[in-house]
């Protein structure tokens, strides 16, 4: 992936500012030695509406920019095992992390 391709992917979401903020937040998380950010934390941090965040995250996942994993909110953080594509209904929470291609682009892989 190139920066030009990443820029196109951000624009293709229809919500460029939210998409850009999400990608930058994920890069900041990596700088803080965290692998990603969960939906609840990003919603509080950014002030964006949850449904818009989910929509943008899905669009970015389809374009290979980020991954969405799910974790069970009823399990302690230490015991959590995030899984791809496994939503367990209302007890599952989304967590976002950058794709390997974007990690390489940002020289963080």
pLDDT score recorded for residue 14 = 96
Partner residues linked to 103 by β-bridges? none
DSSP 2-48: -HHHHHHHHHHTS-HHHHHHHHHHHHHHHHTT-S-EEHHHHHHHH--
- Examine the pLDDT at 9 and tell me if it is beyond 90: yes
pLDDT digits (tens, 9 = 90+) for 18-47: 999 999 999 999 999 998 999 999 999 999
Containing 98, the helix (H) or strand (E) segment is strand 92-98
Q: Regarding the domain delimited by 3-74+84-105, which CATH topology (the fold level of the hierarchy) does it fall under?
A: Arc Repressor Mutant, subunit A (1.10.10)
Mean pLDDT of 42-63: 96
CA dihedral angle for residue 74, residue 79, residue 83, residue 88, rounded to 10 degrees: -20
Asked whether 21 and 48 are in contact (CB, 8 A), the reply is yes
Provide the pLDDT confidence category of residue 87 given band limits of 50, 70 and 90.
low
């Amino acid at each position: 992936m190139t920066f030009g391709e990443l820029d196109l992917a951000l624009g293709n979401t229809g919500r460029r500012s939210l998409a850009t903020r999400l990608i930058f937040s994920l890069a900041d998380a990596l700088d803080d030695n965290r692998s990603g950010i969960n939906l609840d934390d990003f919603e509080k941090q950014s002030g964006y509406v949850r449904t818009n965040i989910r929509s943008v995250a899905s669009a970015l996942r389809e374009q290979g920019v980020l991954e969405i994993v799910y974790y069970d909110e009823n399990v302690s953080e230490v015991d959590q095992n995030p899984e791809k594509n496994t939503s367990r209904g209302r007890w599952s929470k989304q967590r976002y992390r950058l794709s390997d291609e974007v990690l390489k682009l940002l020289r963080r892989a």
